[in-house]
């Protein structure tokens, strides 16, 4: 007979889960969603990435001179990890850093 049946899991499924053969599919779904949404959400607002870039420049400039025009900030995904990857060319270290009492943000 055709037609679906969604009742309890069968004894076989239960045993295979107890033997640790597969994690529940709900957790797989959640993990995949988490990864895909990191990208989707970042696509919605390039402004966010831009203001992040500006903040990065502000902070790093306290320590070193950087080439702002060549600065790159992107999200990259490798297998199961999402990473924020920044490529920041350094022109020179700031000599006056040591003389400062406190870094001004």
Partner 1 sequence: MGDVIVVTSGKGGVGKTTTSANIGTGLAAAGHNVVLVDTDIGLRNLDVVMGLENRIVYDIVDVTSGNCRLRQALIKDKRYENLYLLPAAQTKDKTAVNPEQMKALALELKNEFDYAIIDCPAGIEQGFRNAIAGADRAIVVTTPEVSAVRDADRIIGLLEAADLKNPRLIINRIRPAMVKRGDMMDISDIMDILAIDLIGVVPDDESIVISTNRGEPAVSDNSSHAGEAYRRITRRIQGEEVPLMNLEAPDGFMDKVKKFFGMR
List contacts with partner 1 (CB under 8 A). Answer: 6-11, 13-14, 24-27, 29-30, 32-34, 36-37, 40-41, 44
Cα separation, 39 vs 77, whole angstroms: 9
Please report, in angstroms and rounded to a whole number, the separation of the first and last CA atoms in the chain: 70
Shortest reach from residue 74's CB to partner 1, in Å? 20
Closer residue to partner 1 in complex, CB, 15/86: 15
Closer residue to partner 1 in complex, CB, 34/100: 34
The 8-class DSSP code of residue 102 comes to: S
Residues 6+ positions from 85 with CB-CB distance below 8 Å: 72, 73, 74, 75, 76
Shortest reach from residue 78's CB to partner 1, in Å? 20
Closer residue to partner 1 in complex, CB, 41/94: 41
């Amino acid at each position: 007979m055709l037609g679906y049946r969604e009742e309890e899991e069968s004894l076989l499924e239960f045993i295979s889960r107890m033997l640790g053969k597969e994690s529940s599919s709900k957790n797989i779904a959640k993990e995949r969603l988490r990864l895909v949404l990191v990208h989707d959400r970042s696509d919605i607002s390039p402004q966010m990435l831009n203001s992040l870039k500006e903040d990065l420049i502000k902070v790093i400039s306290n320590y070193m001179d950087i080439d702002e025009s060549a600065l790159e900030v992107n999200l990259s995904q490798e297998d199961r990890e999402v990473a924020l990857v920044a490529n920041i060319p350094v022109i020179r270290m700031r000599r006056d850093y040591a003389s400062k009492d406190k870094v001004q943000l």
